[in-house]
């Protein structure tokens, strides 16, 4: 079997380890051959592909980013499925492994169901918001980077007796904020799932100060304080027409300072959370998911994706990953609040 591999959407630590896992397992166990597709669906629509061998994937486990490149090109643009069939036929490609998040897997599932294309998937997002998988690779790296940043900012906050507001990624869910905030000992964690009033934030910050601590507030970029109607976004729209988030920390910091009288500074981590080498956990998870995707393609389980359930890698429907977002549940929010203030 001849298989094309593409990475689409936002980059994530572990993408290269997935590619390596697919190619090594496919060649060694199934005798498959591989084609790399550059920049996601764009490469498949524009015939931008190249031969891939085990030599091309050596040493990739610890390398961040993606050697294939990525884009947010929609699979139904520029000729859509008909053009994809032409490119696949020209290179004798029998199947595609699509590695991506909500948008990628939604498009891939539609291409299987409506167009009959042979596609299997691997779930990817640092936000950990895809359903029907316990974790997505890249999340552990992102939360680890955020935790290290919190640790570093705590020392300067304590030196100057300041409050620090640290903004992490999380458009619709607060998994990174929750995990890094708990790991870093934050005095308040703010997430898109649960609006909080400025009075409550002020109480948590003041309580920490009164105990002799330099207050640490961790906020997900998609958090909307009570009283606001929409997320903070002053950077225009992205290629998909979504607001470019970023700035909630800058919005909150002066309000916290005004409310509490504590000098407050804001730090936005931004794309630092996506970059660099993946953690050991993400390297192993990515490799296992990649190897499982090679098996799915060999077994012709079109429309399925590799998923983590407990410690096992299993096959589930791609569509089930994008039917709804995996949000932080109420019990996790209530559990964390015991640590605030």
Report the run of H or E that residue 251 belongs to, with start and end: helix 248-260
Q: Which of 110, 102, 106, 107 is nearest to 126 (CA)?
A: 102
Q: Which of 11, 127, 129, 295 is catalytic?
A: 127
Beta bridge partners of 246: 233
Q: How far apart are CA 230 and CA 221, in angstroms?
A: 12
Beta bridge partners of 33: 2
- Binding positions for Mg(2+) are 102
In the 8-state DSSP scheme, what is residue 77?
A: S
Q: How far apart are CA 201 and CA 220, in angstroms?
A: 14
In the 8-state DSSP scheme, what is residue 131?
A: S
Q: Which of 215, 254, 233, 221 is nearest to 341 (CA)?
A: 215
What are the strands, taking DSSP E only, across 256-337? 264-268, 304-309, 312-317
- Binding positions are 10, 72-73, 101-104, 125-127, 162, 169-171, 221, 265, 271-274
> Using an 8 Å Cβ cutoff, are 36 and 22 in contact?
no
> Using an 8 Å Cβ cutoff, are 111 and 81 in contact?
yes
Sign of CA pseudo-dihedral 126, 129, 130, 133: positive
Q: CA torsion angle for 82, 83, 84, 86 (degrees, to 10)? A: 90
Look up 127 and say whether it is catalytic.
yes
- Binding positions for ATP are 10, 72-73, 101-104
**Which pair of structure tokens corresponds to residue 137?**
């690779």
**Per 3-state DSSP, what percentage of the chain is helix, strand, and coil (rounded to 5)?**
40, 20, 40
Q: How far apart are CA 177 and CA 55, in angstroms?
A: 38
- Binding positions for substrate are 125-127, 162, 169-171, 221, 265, 271-274
Catalytic (active-site) positions: 127
């Amino acid at each position: 079997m001849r298989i094309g591999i593409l990475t689409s959407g936002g980059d994530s630590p572990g993408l290269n380890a997935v590619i390596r896992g697919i190619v090594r397992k496919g060649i060694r166990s199934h005798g498959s051959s591989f084609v790399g597709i550059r920049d996601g669906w764009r490469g498949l629509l524009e015939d931008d592909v190249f031969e891939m061998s085990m030599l091309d994937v050596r040493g990739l486990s610890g390398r961040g980013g993606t050697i294939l490149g990525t884009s947010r090109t929609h699979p139904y643009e520029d000729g859509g499925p008909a053009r994809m069939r032409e490119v696949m036929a020209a290179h004798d490609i029998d199947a595609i492994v699509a590695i991506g998040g909500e948008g990628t897997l939604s498009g891939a599932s539609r291409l299987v169901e409506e167009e009959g294309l042979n596609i299997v998937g691997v779930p990817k997002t640092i936000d950990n918001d895809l359903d029907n998988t316990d974790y997505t690779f890249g999340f552990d790296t992102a939360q680890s980077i955020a935790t290290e940043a919190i640790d570093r900012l705590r020392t300067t906050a304590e030196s100057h007796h300041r409050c620090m507001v640290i903004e992490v990624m999380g458009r619709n869910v607060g998994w990174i904020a929750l995990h890094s905030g708990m790991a870093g000992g934050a005095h308040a964690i703010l997430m898109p799932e649960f609006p909080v009033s400025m009075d409550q934030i002020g109480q948590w910050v003041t309580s920490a100060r009164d105990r002799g601590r330099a207050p640490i507030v961790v906020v997900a970029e998609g958090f909307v304080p009570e009283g606001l109607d929409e997320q903070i976004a002053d950077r225009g729209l992205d290629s998909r027409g979504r607001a470019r988030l970023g700035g909630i920390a800058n919005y909150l910091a002066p309000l916290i300072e005004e409310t509490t009288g504590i000098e407050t500074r804001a730090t936005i981590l931004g794309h630092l959370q996506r970059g660099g080498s993946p953690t050991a956990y993400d390297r192993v998870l990515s490799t296992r998911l990649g190897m499982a995707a090679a098996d799915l393609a060999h077994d012709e389980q079109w429309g399925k994706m590799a998923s983590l359930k407990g410690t096992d890698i299993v096959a589930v429907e791609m569509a089930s990953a994008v039917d709804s977002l995996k949000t932080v549940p109420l019990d996790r929010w209530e559990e964390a609040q015991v640590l605030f203030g």
